[in-house]
Structure 1
Amino acid sequence: MLKKTQGIVLSAIRYKETSIIVKIFTRELGLKSYLVNGVRSQGNKSKTALYQPLTLLDLVVYDKDNGGLQRISEAQLARAHQLIPFDFTRTGLALFITEVISKSIYENYQNESLFDFLHNCIVELDHKEAQLAQFPLVFLLENAIYLGFAPEEALGFLAESRSQPFSPAELTLAENYLSILMQESFSNTVRINKALRQKLLDHLLDFYSQHLDNPGNWKSLAILRQINE
């Protein structure tokens, strides 16, 4: 059956000589794996741009009840990124978002509210005025809400952890800072020192690891550290 849906590309791997298998988080159908034939052939290489991480797509897909690999009938850009592919910081943040989502959801997982949040995050990241230093922290705080394991208050993010890396003075600063981020979201302009911001990022990723099945190492963390140098 053919169905229309919006999609966010998470990953693509090569399959045989000219094809790819692409994972797309769709709004109406959830996370699906699609086989795209011939996309890497000599005359179709420009189509690979459609399947870069965090590309926003309008799709017409074949939806089979028996699961497994699906197929795409039509795919076109829903919104062309203006900055993400050409800015090292934004590209690194895009890889980070992709990794977090890929480790947080599973095949056929469907959550329209999460999809809408991710769509808005991607659009925000592509804006020139985006607050990039705070972006990964805001993303982790709000993403946890849609995944269903976010505490109601900032202190909950700090208290629910296997480790407590903050001094008493840092803990107060961290709680106040997270409270502002939770209230003002991506529009915030608050600043803290880089060392404490990095501690918070490590802490929140540890918090995520406690709530996810087999999260493994966070490969994009090294890229974020390089961005914050």
Structure 2
Amino acid sequence: MTCNAIYGQPGFILKQRQYRETSVIIDVFTQDFGRFSLLAKGVRKSKSKTAAVLQSFIPLSVSYLGKGELKLLTSVEMAQPPFELNGLALYCGFYVSELIICFLHQHDPHPDVFFDYMTCLAQLANATGSELEAVLRVFEINLIEKIGYGLQLEFDFLNGQPINSAKKYAFDVEQGAYENAQGYLSGSTLLALSAKTLHDPQVLSEAKLLMRSVIDFYLQGRLLKSRQVINQIIKRISNE
């Protein structure tokens, strides 16, 4: 292996776009080298066997070379069977991929986030109904924690007292929870998020509101396209 060539790196394709007549540029998330762009030459030719592999949610073994921002894909093969995401789970997969793109800087390795992403896809493939919500919330909080924005969920940051499951709380994204009789969060929701055990419908509803506010705070006005699509699908299903 030379200094600018990598062989057999575990990875996933987050998104891709067409480049010139026969090529694509893919945004890939790798286990040991983080997220970056690869040029896949000629994969849109009719005889290309690579195009079928260059899809989302397939565990890949990726080889590439180059020192610049845009590296050259030299070979790719399926490392494991694809995660079969269908219906709403498919759009949830696009959502977690978009979170990776928004929150991870290019060339910033996060092997632990890579493992969480793979685990999340596996869980989405087997989840239904409210289970999908629980899977997303756990992925969100893991991501926020592992990129350095950990949330204070176990103590009231104003008085240092442990969170009481019977009390109501408000939440400051940068400092944590604090007791507030008009708060939208129950102590039980904060403790469930901390333990990453989300089952109760009320807990799931409150956890969704909290994690949305946290994610929006760090996105600083950027919109998540996949979130808008998911909301439209949920609204349509509710009206059927």
Measured against the shorter chain, the TM-score band is 0.7 to 0.9
Q: Shift of the alpha carbon at 1:220?
A: 1.6
Q: Secondary structure at the match of 1:132?
A: helix
Q: Shift of the alpha carbon at 1:28?
A: 1.8
1:19 and 2:26 correspond: no
Q: Distance in 2 between matches of 1:225 and 1:204?
A: 18
Q: What letter is aligned with 1:191? A: P
Moved more, 189-198 or 137-146: 189-198
Q: What letter is aligned with 1:67? A: G
Q: Which residue of 1 aligns with 2:44?
A: 40
Q: Distance in 1 between matches of 2:97 and 2:88?
A: 14
* Contact 1:5–1:28 under 8 Å retained in 2: yes
* Contact 2:34–2:109 under 8 Å retained in 1: yes
CA shift digits 1:153-182 (9 cap, x unpaired): 266793227xx9xx8455342x42242133
Q: What letter is aligned with 1:225? A: N
2:224 paired residue among 190, 209, 218 = 218
Q: Which residue of 2 aligns with 1:54?
A: 57
Q: Distance in 1 between matches of 2:207 and 2:214?
A: 11
Q: Which residue of 1 aligns with 2:184?
A: 171
The alignment's C-alpha RMSD in Å is: 2.9
Q: Residues 168, 49 of structure 1: CA spacing in aligned structure 2 closer, same or farther, 3 A cutoff?
A: farther
Q: Residues 76, 150 of structure 1: CA spacing in aligned structure 2 closer, same or farther, 3 A cutoff?
A: same
Q: Which residue of 1 aligns with 2:84?
A: 83
Q: Residues 28, 172 of structure 1: CA spacing in aligned structure 2 closer, same or farther, 3 A cutoff?
A: closer
1:99 and 2:98 correspond: yes
Q: Distance in 2 between matches of 1:196 and 1:184?
A: 14
Q: What letter is aligned with 1:182? A: S
> How many percent identity over aligned positions?
19
Q: Which structure is higher in helix share?
A: 1
Q: Which residue of 2 aligns with 1:184?
A: 196
* Contact 1:24–1:34 under 8 Å retained in 2: yes
Q: Secondary structure at the match of 2:201?
A: coil
Q: Which residue of 1 aligns with 2:212?
A: 202
Q: What letter is aligned with 1:25? A: F
* Contact 2:13–2:28 under 8 Å retained in 1: yes
Q: Residues 107, 172 of structure 1: CA spacing in aligned structure 2 closer, same or farther, 3 A cutoff?
A: closer
CA shift digits 1:33-59 (9 cap, x unpaired): 111111111122x63332223332112
Q: Secondary structure at the match of 1:81?
A: coil
Unaligned segments of structure 2, at least 5 residues: 158-169, 236-240
Question: Which structure has the larger Rg over C-alpha atoms?
Answer: 2
Q: Which residue of 2 aligns with 1:141?
A: 141
1:158 and 2:162 correspond: no
